[in-house]
Amino acid sequence: MDLELYIQKVKAFNHELDWDQFHNPKDLLLALMSEVGELAECFRWLSEEEIARVIADPEKKKKIAEELADIAMYLMTISYKMDIDFPKAIEEKFEKNKKRFTLEKNKGVHTNPIEGYKPQA
């Protein structure tokens, strides 16, 4: 399904439940941060091996998928409430990142605001 169709589904759901009255950018951002926290809880204190087991377990993986969906729906709600063309914003940011993070300079490298560029070990 097209991202714009999901945005319209989220918008219709929020209108049907009369939730738009509560949806201002600040409160939506706080709700989004709460959902990101719920996703983080799924991984807190787990080793790489434990994370691999979580991902391999269909029920546990479903919980992670649900948290990702909650996050996505809040992002969609913020976008329509602020009259932002979310698919277009994603595309424009993707194109900007392709120019910013070049294959020659960034392949196999991550950055840290204090340490700068750091190649994979």
The answer to whether 23 touches 82, Cβ cutoff 8 Å, is no
Verdict on whether the full-model pTM lies above 0.95:
no
Full pLDDT tens readout for the chain, 121 residues: 799 999 999 999 999 999 999 999 999 999 999 999 999 999 999 999 999 999 999 999 999 999 999 999 999 999 999 999 999 999 999 999 999 988 888 888 888 878 877 776 6
Taking the domains of the chain in order of start, what are their residue ranges?
3-105
Q: What's the Cα-to-Cα distance from 38 to each of 55, 82, 89, rounded to whole Å?
A: 16, 25, 26
Looking at residue 57, the DSSP 8-state letter turns out to be S
Tell me whether strands 109-112 and 116-119 are parallel, antiparallel or unpaired.
Answer: antiparallel
Q: Element (H or E) spanning 3, and its range?
A: helix 3-16
* CATH T-level assignment (fold) for domain 3-105: Helix Hairpins (1.10.287)
